[in-house]
Amino acid sequence: MIDLRSDTVTKPTRAMRRAMAEAEVGDDVYGEDPTVNRLQERAAEIFGKEAAIFVPTGSMGNQIAIKLHTRPGQEVVIEERGHIFNFEMAAMAAVSGTIPRPVRSRDGSGILTWDEIEAALHVGGAYYVAPTGLIALENSHNLAGGTLLTRSRTEEICERAHERKLPVHLDGARIFNAATALAESVAALARPVDSVMFCLSKALGAPVGSMLLGERAFIEEARSWRKLLGGGMRQAGVLAAAGLVALEETPRRLHEDHANARKLAEGLAEIPGIKIDPEKIVTNIIIFDVSETGISADEICARLQQYNVLASGFGDSIRMVTHYDVSSDDIDVALKGMKEVVSR
Ligand code: TLP
């Protein structure tokens, strides 16, 4: 199967499996797992942040950050297709007592300007309006099609937010893809934000795990919330070992996934009824509208399975995501399948 549903589907590499088998472990609830500790130190070093904590999922990392930055009754300003708003259930309400203030990006890129954010803020206004507690950014932006938040835009947003004493959290589930596409370091992209979450289990290919990074005191508090939410793992070093390999080895090859995604987008653009601008595909996520094919997205995905290709339908659109278990030849197979499915 050529699995383009997500980059979460990758299987651990041989190096990861070896590292997992040989990992030195201890009880991480006591802070005694040497491999988890090494992963946390290494992530903090790479990102230039004071501290990091290993969490089971990206959702838990994001939600702990929201919990720590806000208090109940506040709003979280977020782009309307943001993962935190759309795919983490109502966790910000259930866990933190906050509600999202979704904002549309006028240019459709999913990347907000400061003016768009500012218009949605409630800071120091009428007492009967829910105050803004946090601004949540996403880089790359998943549901907008892997789009990029540049370093300068991040800096501008954070500078203005901080002038208003508002914290900024970055959902950097795929920040290594963003860094690769922008030719920036992840540290440069994350420098101005108060906290950043990134996933080891997405494009980097580890089987499980994400990291939350920020100031030391913030990460200390995050440890309590991770435990409260049921994320206090014990000999988690077996997972962290794969995460360390993912962190050290995978970033340098992400450009291959981006090239495969562009190739896929260029091929899709030639299929009648598919709407996609290949120029806009800059990382590993491709989202394209299929409404003019006369076949529903779900039906196209179901028929694609006969060609051993898996993709996900989202309304009128299909999402395909490249990763290290998808080769350039697999892209040819997927394109052939799409052409036949749509023209039948
Ligand atoms: N994204 C998944 C699905 O939930 C959509 C995927 O297949 O892309 N932030 C971003 C930007 C994400 O894309 C995801 C997962 C998360 C957070 C949550 O990570 P997990 O699944 O580890 O909780």
Which sequence spans correspond to the domains of the chain? Answer: 12-249, 253-343
Helix (H) or strand (E) run with residue 313 in it: strand 312-314
Distance CA 262, CA 278 (A): 6
Residue corresponding to tokens 């937010």: 161
pLDDT > 80? residue 117? yes
Residue-wise pLDDT tens digits, 25-54: 999 999 999 999 999 999 999 999 999 999
Ligand 1 centroid to Cα of residue 143, in Å, is 10
CA distances from 332 to 7, 126, 145, 198, 326 (A): 18, 58, 21, 31, 11
pLDDT at 303: 97
Asked if residues 82 and 102 have their Cβ atoms less than 8 Å apart, the reply is yes
Ligand 1 centroid to Cα of residue 315, in Å, is 18
Query: Considering only CA atoms, which residue is closest to atom 19 of ligand 1?
Result: 58
**Secondary structure of 183-225 as H, E, C letters:** CCCHHHHHCCCCEEEEECCCCCCCCCCEEEEECHHHHHHHHHH
90 token code pair? 């109502």
12-249: CATH class: alpha beta
Query: Considering only CA atoms, which residue is closest to atom 16 of ligand 1?
Result: 58
pLDDT > 90? residue 310? yes
Ligand 1 centroid to Cα of residue 173, in Å, is 7
Q: Is 3 in the pocket of ligand 1 (CB under 6 A)?
A: no
pLDDT at 125: 85
Q: Is 139 in the pocket of ligand 1 (CB under 6 A)?
A: no
Q: Is 83 in the pocket of ligand 1 (CB under 6 A)?
A: yes
**Secondary structure of 64-114 as H, E, C letters:** HHHHHHCCCCCEEEEECCCHHHHCECEHHHHHHCCEEEEECCCCCCCCCCH
Distance CA 192, CA 15 (A): 34
Mean model confidence pLDDT for the chain: 98
253-343: CATH class: alpha beta
**Ligand 1 atom with the shortest distance to the CA of 56:** 22
pLDDT at 344: 75
CA distances from 265 to 232, 321, 340 (A): 41, 11, 16
pLDDT band at 3 (very low <50, low <70, confident <90, very high): very high
Q: How many CB atoms lie within 10 A of CB 263?
A: 17
Residue-wise pLDDT tens digits, 40-99: 999 999 999 999 999 999 999 999 999 999 999 999 999 999 999 999 999 999 999 999
pLDDT band at 172 (very low <50, low <70, confident <90, very high): very high
Average pLDDT rounded to a whole number, residues 187-201: 98
